[in-house]
Amino acid sequence: MLEKIKNLLKEVQELKANSADELEALRIKYLSKKGAISALMNDFRNVAAEQKRETGQRLNELKDFTQNKFNELKSGFELFCSSAADTDLTRTAYPVNLGSRHPLSVVKREICDIFARLGFSIAEGPEIEDDWHVFSSLNFADDHPARDMQDTFFIQRSPDILLRTHTSSVQTRVMEQTQPPIRIICPGRVYRNEAISYRAHCFFHQVEGLYVDKNVSFADLKQVLLYFAKELFGENTKIRLRPSYFPFTEPSAEMDISCNICGGKGCPFCKHTGWVEILGCGMVDPNVLDNCGIDGKIYSGYALGMGIERITNLKYRIKDLRLFSENDLRFLKQFGAA
């Protein structure tokens, strides 16, 4: 009896099936009520009493192995059939549809590359921030409108934990941990509590820059901005700086570029002014430097910040900000070659 079990086990180990009919024939031959294993079960009553324990154990092992072997053959056959059914043998290998970069990623990379050529390194920080790094260290007064719930997402109704409203919080963290010279850009996503429309969203993306060292002047800032505008929008691009106000810079300015659509002649896009605003900038307020542990009497610096969506709109003339976050493939495929 033991020899029969051993021989049948070797036979089962070599089983193969190339079709559903062969698989069913194997099941009938070995596992059906009239199959080989059932026949051995019927002969078990004739085994001597002293051999019953060992024989019964080997017989159960054979049955379990055969069932597992059959299940293995069945699953492998079903997988092969499924793969074969899903394969279109008439389809050509090329062209293969490739994905594309998101337009915001394309523009962010281009901006970072330009500043990298000027010696700026990339710095990143948390999107969930505290009041000190987002507001207080940057010279925001306690009653500043940006602290209002209408502009800022606070977490768990806490006045101290919030979603960052600008990537300037990364600048303050770097200044706290690093002594000048500091030359960084801070790309990232920011959040503001605004109604979603074609021209505004509750989250968007920024790139902010910071340079702190001895004897840094507004002239240094202007030359960097001019170089940046020409690299991004073309050699013929002109810039102008208009006085403005930001809590963390003094003096402050907003920068316009000559409209890249009409060349500065005037069109509906630039509201017939010939100029389009793209960023804010200014000299870092000495109070901000002191707040971050840098001596404002020895060091000076400039800061600048821009919205990536704004720059992308100018480069690709996209009129609806909601397109950037809707993941519409018809929209994204336009940037496949970018």
DSSP annotation string for 11-68: HHHT---SSHHHHHHHHHHHHSTTSHHHHHHHHGGGS-GGGHHHHHHHHHHHHHHHHH
pLDDT score of 174: 95
pLDDT score of 179: 92
**Two tokens at 37?**
């294993």
What is the DSSP-derived secondary structure letter of residue 99? Answer: -
pTM of the prediction?
Answer: 0.68
Q: What is the pLDDT of residues 74-133, one digit of tens each?
A: 776 665 555 555 566 676 666 666 777 889 999 999 999 999 999 999 999 999 999 999
pLDDT score of 303: 96
pLDDT score of 130: 92
pLDDT score of 210: 97
pLDDT score of 82: 53
pLDDT score of 80: 53
Q: What is the pLDDT of residues 126-170, one digit of tens each?
A: 999 999 999 999 988 888 777 776 688 888 777 789 999 999 999
Interatomic CA distance for residues 114 and 185, integer angstroms: 11
pLDDT score of 88: 66
CA distances, 312 to each of 7, 261, 315 (Å): 74, 14, 5
Phi, psi of 194 (to 5 degrees): -125, 155
Interatomic CA distance for residues 117 and 306, integer angstroms: 18
SS3 1: coil
Q: Confirm if 242 and 256 have CB atoms less than 8 A apart.
A: yes
Interatomic CA distance for residues 212 and 154, integer angstroms: 31
All residue ranges of the chain with pLDDT < 50 are none
Interatomic CA distance for residues 141 and 147, integer angstroms: 9
pLDDT score of 337: 58
